Amino acid sequence: MPRNRYQTDEPTSRRMAAVGLRDTKPERVVRSVLTAIGLRYRLHRRDLPGRPDVVLASRRLVLFVHGCFWHRHPGCPRTTTPCRNAALWQVKFRRTLERDARATEALRAAGWKVLVVWECETTNRPELSRRLQSFLNRGA
């Protein structure tokens, strides 16, 4: 998969390169499920902490679509740690998690509800749809 297959602005490209996210398919699945539910959303609002992947402003909800490996999905088989340079990877992972935690905290402090959708959860579309709808109903 070519790295810049999808048109993104420069900061997004840099961010994607920084986190090693080569494939935005999980995000596309989430967007398509939201569209199927009939929701309007905005993407990557740069004025919000952590630049959430999806913003449902009228409901004050944001979604992050996280890669399991980089964002360390707990208990997930994709959350592996490479043997080579393990210490270096741990530093990178810790920075990513700290960044995620800061963004979530800032968003919640500003009154946003925050949902994380894990990459591995986007392979089961019906289940993802149920989960998103339940989150949206709670947040309504």
Q: Would you say 76 or 106 has its CB closer to Zn ion?
A: 76
Q: DSSP class of residue 49?
A: T
Nearest distance in Å: CB 137, Zn ion: 24
Q: Is 19 in the site for Zn ion (CB under 5 A)?
A: no
Mask for 39-78, x = binds Zn ion (CB under 5 A): -----------------------------x----x--x-x
Residues ≥6 apart with Cβ < 8 Å to 53: 27, 30, 43, 44, 63, 64, 65
Residues ≥6 apart with Cβ < 8 Å to 51: 12, 15, 44, 45
In the window 78-117, what residues touch Zn ion (CB under 5 A)?
A: 78
Q: Which of 107, 41, 101 is nearest to 66 (CA)?
A: 101
Task: Give the one residue of 120, 131, 136, 139 binding Zn ion; rule: CB under 5 A.
Answer: 120
Q: Using CB under 5 A as the criterion, which residues of the chain lie in contact with Zn ion when the complex forms?
A: 68, 73, 76, 78, 118, 120
